[in-house]
């Protein structure tokens, strides 16, 4: 990792890991009721008091670990600066807020770290099943300490995942044509309500690909490194590199499934 000794890097990884697990326990133990849920801009878009509280705690804790870093987090809290030019943490305090509101037990904390626009580390933690995905640039992707390395499974031999949000309803007709095609060409399709977990599930071999028309860097920064370090591919839907300073479309998968996904998107959507 740039600018840090190996020892300092490992110490930092351990401290962030502990912080992310603590944030996950808040999600796991919470029971969000009516008063804690608030409407955000756009259709079917919500924030709970827990999203805000967890982001505040993560920013405070991460600031102590790396004081030079800025923060690109989902919620509008103090310290959220969206400056990606130097060290930057990408924070989604709860990815899968709608799942969280309805007690689905499928949400996670996602924290990514970049330096000058290059992802260096990613942490995605699902507290309900105590699964910690960790990616370190150049060293690999790990699930609870087990190194992940994906095989080049084609689309017709795996599960195709996708995400869609009512508040990002662009090209809905064309989008679902792509999903219909994925349904017909894969073993099965899923929208499990947490983009970060579905992307990490490519790294661990549960999903063969993932597609969504618009996501924010805090949704995918950590998981993108996970996929790349495990040997998969992640791009925008036209095949161009993903962006870390603003939203973009996400098409990810094993090499073969990603290639086929891009062909389907080109046929049906672009
Ligand atoms: C959402 C989830 C969902 C994806 C949406 C995201 P949030 O994040 O990742 O799976 O389809 O586009 O906005 O709002 O739960 O943090
Ligand atoms: Ca999210
Ligand atoms: Ca969120």
For the stretch 30-88, pLDDT in tens is 988 778 888 888 887 888 999 999 999 999 999 999 999 999 999 988 888 888 999 99
Q: How many angstroms separate the Cα of 40 from the Cα of each of 31, 98, 201?
A: 20, 12, 28
- pLDDT, residue 2, reads 53
User: From the CA of 74, how far away is ligand 2's center (Å)?
Assistant: 7
- The answer to whether the beta carbons of residues 249 and 212 sit under 8 Å apart is yes
Structure tokens at 9: 């890097």
User: From the CA of 260, how far away is ligand 2's center (Å)?
Assistant: 26
- pLDDT, residue 42, reads 80
Backbone angles phi, psi at 82, to 5 degrees: 55, 30
- Closest residue to atom 16 of ligand 1, CA basis: 95
- Closest residue to atom 11 of ligand 1, CA basis: 163
Residue 109 CB–ligand 1 contact under 6 Å: no
Residue 96 CB–ligand 1 contact under 6 Å: yes
Residue 92 CB–ligand 1 contact under 6 Å: yes
- Closest residue to atom 5 of ligand 1, CA basis: 165
Number of H helices, E strands in the chain: 7, 14
Q: How far is the C-alpha of 207 from the C-alpha of 107, rounded, in Å? A: 17
Residue 181 CB–ligand 1 contact under 6 Å: no
Q: How far is the C-alpha of 69 from the C-alpha of 59, rounded, in Å? A: 10
Q: Is 101 helix (H, G, I), strand (E, B) or coil?
A: helix
Residues of the chain below pLDDT 70: 1-3
- Closest residue to atom 12 of ligand 1, CA basis: 165
Residue 75 CB–ligand 1 contact under 6 Å: no
Residue 260 CB–ligand 1 contact under 6 Å: no
Cα Rg for the chain, rounded, in angstroms? 17
- pLDDT, residue 263, reads 98
Residue 97 CB–ligand 1 contact under 6 Å: yes
Residues 6+ apart with CB under 8 A from 46: 37, 38, 39, 40, 97, 98, 101
- How many Cβ atoms from other residues are within 10 Å of residue 170's Cβ? 9
């Amino acid at each position: 990792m740039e600018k840090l000794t190996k020892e300092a890097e490992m110490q930092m990884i351990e401290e962030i890991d502990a912080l992310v697990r603590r944030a996950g326990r808040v999600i796991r133990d919470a029971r969000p009721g009516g008063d804690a849920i608030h409407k955000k801009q756009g259709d079917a878009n919500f924030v709970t008091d827990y999203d805000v509280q967890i982001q505040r705690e993560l920013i405070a804790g991460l600031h102590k670990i790396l004081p030079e870093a800025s923060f690109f987090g989902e919620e509008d809290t103090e310290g959220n600066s969206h400056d990606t030019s130097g060290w930057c943490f990408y924070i989604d305090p709860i990815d899968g807020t709608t799942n969280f509101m309805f007690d689905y037990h499928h949400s996670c904390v996602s924290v990514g770290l970049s330096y000058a626009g290059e992802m260096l580390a990613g942490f995605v933690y699902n507290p309900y099943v105590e699964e910690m995905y960790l990616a370190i640039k150049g060293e690999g992707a790990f699930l609870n300490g087990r190194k992940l390395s994906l095989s080049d499974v084609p689309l017709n031999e795996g599960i195709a995942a996708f995400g869609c949000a009512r508040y990002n309803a662009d090209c809905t007709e064309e989008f679902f044509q792509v999903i219909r095609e994925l349904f017909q060409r894969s073993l099965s399709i899923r929208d499990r309500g947490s983009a970060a977990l579905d992307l990490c599930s490519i790294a661990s071999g549960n999903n063969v690909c993932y597609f969504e028309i618009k996501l924010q860097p805090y949704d995918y920064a950590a998981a993108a490194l996970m996929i790349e370090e495990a040997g998969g591919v992640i791009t925008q839907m036209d095949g161009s590199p993903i962006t870390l300073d603003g939203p973009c479309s996400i098409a990810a998968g094993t090499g073969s499934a990603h290639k086929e996904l891009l062909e389907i998107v080109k046929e049906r959507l672009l």
